[in-house]
Amino acid sequence: MALKNDRYTYRVTWSEDDNEYVGLCAEFPSLSWLARTPEAALKGIRKVVEGVVKDMQDNGETIPEPIACRRYSGKFMVRVPPEVHRNLSIKAAESGVSLNRLASSKLSQ
């Protein structure tokens, strides 16, 4: 039985070390599944996540919320050394944009 309403974030990538594809789930970073094809890696990791979620439910554990279902404010604080802050402020002023706009542009690249 597949996990009902599976909204977790999956990724399949090549593992040079294992010489196979690896299926990963962002919400469960300790889990992975190796397979010869990307399709099998995705199917495998989804099955592993399904089993882990079922075990967590059976044991009354808190199940991670899917990233796709979370709400984000669009704000977060980043600490940088004072000289980096100064240099970014200068670049923003020279570009005629706010420091926030410059940082957002750099982070989205």
DSSP run (H or E) holding 15? strand 10-15
Helix axes 99-107, 82-95, angle to 10 degrees: 100
Q: How far is CA 21 from the centre of its chain?
A: 18
Of 72, 71, 64, 74, the residue nearest 8 (C-alpha):
64
DSSP run (H or E) holding 16? none
Task: State pLDDT tens for residues 75-106.
Answer: 999 999 999 999 999 999 999 999 999 999 99
- pTM of the predicted protein model: 0.74
Task: State pLDDT tens for residues 36-65.
Answer: 999 999 999 999 999 999 999 999 999 999
Q: How far apart are the first and last CA of the chain?
A: 40
